[in-house]
Structure 1
């Protein structure tokens, strides 16, 4: 019975075709750099959760590790998140690295807890044309499939990298020590792993990898960014897509049942 259910789910997902690129395009990409050891971060964490629930903006939370010495080791932090934040600061030229910090569309930074500043950055990004590149993301038959289409408008530098971000849609942490001792924090779309899928040179392109190369234990969400520059010097985000939660859940359930049919 379990094997039949797995086959049924995979079959449905394979035949459904998924959402179109336009349906998957968010109004912008918000990256929150935060820390469990930062007393000013909880308002930013709540704002990120609100934006994620709204669904029009792709939100990624990237906990950093440079406040771990203050008495509490961030349980979700990753050195790669810290490296990404520092790379942004170098690319912008302002060298400002702090928490909570939000970066919108890979370009403008704002204090993460300042709702007006964050919404202003999102509005300016939209007024500047938003995301120019349609991206379609599918998860089926144990593989991640990404299609990058023609740009909606001419791009100054049509060269970029394609990255997959696996994340947990919600993660609750009880903080035992440090500046937030006694608090319970809930984080939205916590990045667990980043995977470079390849380079994009301006023409329509497809990328395909086994899901196991991208997803990590505990991940229940997936997003793809097409970003100018390099991982060491990231630039503007040109396109993005997020896997539909229902499709993601059904796909991963099918794969799990197929591995363990009894």
Structure 2
């Protein structure tokens, strides 16, 4: 039996009717749309959604909209015979915050959230594409990044740039996600027993660079983060996503940054 208020769905979809009034003013061309997937290797249908996410990243759907793709592996299916090696309570908490912000009745996998505003089942490409097409877009932040490795097990990221979106008195958080692609797992137990699972855009670390309020779109911002690295870290398979997030988790701009391959 699944935990209370948790579900693992194969089909059907929904989109939140909750919509918060936007409180920012944008400058510049529209930037990427953030697509966040909540999945688990312990869910029998999440592997289908992972394939859709990878196809989005490859450009298989010929979208004209640039995307920032992030996959969060929740840990509430770990009880079911297989512990997801990428699962984290931190990602379960993030999904729960969306459930509350979007006035949903339950947590489930696979689950897609678009720009922090709309949501649907993640194994239905048509619904995902529809949500992407109708999502509001905002200018991409214009950050430059420099990287250092103070130790073998840590990565220091220094960012300097501007949000290119005005933030009012309600404030916003500037978030930085470190993600990894090209992961392959031979699943030996659980709902996906004997299946080889491929995962891309897996969020390994998520940190807040800073909180801001009452600043202009062109205001210069800088900061440094230190990420603890995992065994087998390969910079060539990783990237950074920078995004501006309101207190209610709506996203008002995002940017992708490549890691230097020689790290």
Q: Same fold (TM over 0.5)?
A: yes
The answer as to 2:190 corresponding to 1:170 is no
Are the counterparts in 1 of residues 141 and 164 from structure 2 also a CA contact under 8 Å? no
Inter-partner Cα distance in structure 2 for 1:227 and 1:47: 25
| Equivalence for 2:227 | 214
| Equivalence for 1:199 | 211
Q: Which runs of 5+ in 2 are unaligned?
A: 1-26, 60-64, 149-156
| Equivalence for 1:33 | 38
Q: 1:242 to 1:150 in 2, by over 3 A?
A: closer
Inter-partner Cα distance in structure 1 for 2:101 and 2:38: 16
Q: Which residue among 180, 199, 206 is the counterpart of 2:192?
A: 180
Deviation at 1:157, TM superposition (A): 6.8
Residues 1-262 of structure 1 mapped to structure 2, 5 A cutoff: 25-26=31-32, 28-54=33-59, 56-125=66-135, 129-130=136-137, 132-140=138-146, 142=148, 143-151=157-165, 159-201=171-213, 202-203=215-216, 204-210=219-225, 213-214=226-227, 216-217=229-230, 218=233, 220-229=238-247, 234-244=248-258, 248-250=259-261, 253=262, 256=263
What is the DSSP-based 3-state SS (H/G/I as helix, E as strand, rest coil) of the residue aligned with 1:197? strand
**Worse-superposed segment, 46-55 or 97-106:** 46-55
What is the DSSP-based 3-state SS (H/G/I as helix, E as strand, rest coil) of the residue aligned with 1:139? strand
Residue by residue over 1:108-158, the C-alpha shift from the partner in whole angstroms, topping out at 9 and shown as x without a partner, is: 110000111111111110xxx31x24302322253421422442xx77876
| RMSD after superposition | 2.4
What is the DSSP-based 3-state SS (H/G/I as helix, E as strand, rest coil) of the residue aligned with 1:38? coil
Inter-partner Cα distance in structure 2 for 1:145 and 1:214: 13
Q: 1:23 to 1:166 in 2, by over 3 A?
A: farther
| Equivalence for 1:4 | none
What is the DSSP-based 3-state SS (H/G/I as helix, E as strand, rest coil) of the residue aligned with 2:250? strand
Q: TM-score, normalised by structure 1?
A: 0.75
Deviation at 1:169, TM superposition (A): 2.0
Residue by residue over 1:164-218, the C-alpha shift from the partner in whole angstroms, topping out at 9 and shown as x without a partner, is: 10111221111110111011111111001111111122322412205xx036332
Inter-partner Cα distance in structure 2 for 1:120 and 1:181: 32
Structure with the higher helix share, 1 or 2: 1
Q: TM-score, normalised by structure 2?
A: 0.75
Inter-partner Cα distance in structure 1 for 2:250 and 2:70: 15
Are the counterparts in 1 of residues 37 and 112 from structure 2 also a CA contact under 8 Å? yes
Residue by residue over 1:16-51, the C-alpha shift from the partner in whole angstroms, topping out at 9 and shown as x without a partner, is: xxxxx979932x000000010111111100001111
Are the counterparts in 2 of residues 92 and 107 from structure 1 also a CA contact under 8 Å? yes
